[in-house]
């Protein structure tokens, strides 16, 4: 992958919270589906309550998330976004298949988001993902800030001394 492509696929500071909300929502949705028929660990009500409390935040962050894919992938954005969502689901399902206590552990996940609302959703999602998904980096990262590159101005057309100017890389 070329460096230009790598930079294009990263998330801007504005997109990063939306990415975290999407990842958290997908993991919670998967936990609700995986544990639906496990006695004592059905999270349908918990997931639906989460969505109701944070509906506006989920919608607005979902729009920012879509904007990221449109910015990066243009006409192929929908396919790329669907593949990304599938990738998150695969990671979640892999965890459920390798853990004998997945549904019991998901009780803790839902307990952590009980206070999530549209007002604090992004902060909750970032903290949630940092606490539970240390491998999140494989799904995405924040774009690195560009450092100004110092270069000498051309002196071919002017008789002034060369000046140092800043230019973005």
Contact present, 139 and 87 (Cβ < 8 Å): yes
For the chain, what are the domain ranges?
A: 3-143
Residue 70: which of 83, 79, 57 has the closest Cα?
79
Q: Which region among 5-14, 136-145, 159-168 has the lowest average model confidence (pLDDT)? A: 159-168
Q: Which of 77-81, 145-149, 165-169 has the highest mean pLDDT?
A: 77-81
**Residue located via tokens 């929502």:** 25
Q: What is the pTM of this model?
A: 0.76
pLDDT digits (tens, 9 = 90+) for 107-139: 988 998 998 998 999 999 999 988 887 777 777
Measure the CA–CA gap between 83 and 140, rounded to whole angstroms: 13
**Residue located via tokens 């930079």:** 7
Q: Encoding tokens for residue 64?
A: 């920012």
Q: Encoding tokens for residue 14?
A: 């504005």
pLDDT digits (tens, 9 = 90+) for 21-77: 999 999 999 999 999 999 999 999 999 999 999 999 999 999 999 999 999 999 999
How many other CB atoms are there within 10 angstroms of residue 42's CB atom? 14
With b meaning 16 or more CB within 10 Å and e meaning fewer, what string describes 141-159?
Answer: eeeeeeeeeeeeeeeeeee
């Amino acid at each position: 992958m070329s460096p230009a492509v790598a930079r294009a696929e990263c998330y801007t500071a504005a997109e990063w919270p939306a990415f975290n909300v999407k990842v958290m929502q997908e993991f919670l949705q998967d936990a609700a589906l995986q544990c639906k028929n496990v006695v004592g660990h059905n999270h349908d009500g918990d997931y639906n309550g989460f969505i109701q409390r944070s509906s506006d935040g989920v919608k607005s962050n979902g729009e920012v998330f879509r904007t990221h894919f449109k910015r990066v992938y243009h006409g192929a954005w929908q396919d790329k976004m669907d593949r990304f969502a599938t990738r998150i689901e695969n990671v979640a399902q892999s965890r459920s298949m390798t853990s004998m206590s997945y549904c019991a552990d998901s009780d803790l996940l839902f307990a952590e988001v009980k206070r999530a609302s549209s007002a604090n959703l992004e902060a909750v999602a970032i903290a949630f993902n940092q606490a539970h998904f240390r491998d999140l980096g494989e799904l995405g990262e924040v774009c690195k800030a560009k450092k100004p590159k110092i270069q000498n101005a051309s002196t071919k057309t002017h008789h002034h001394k060369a000046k140092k100017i800043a230019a973005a890389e």
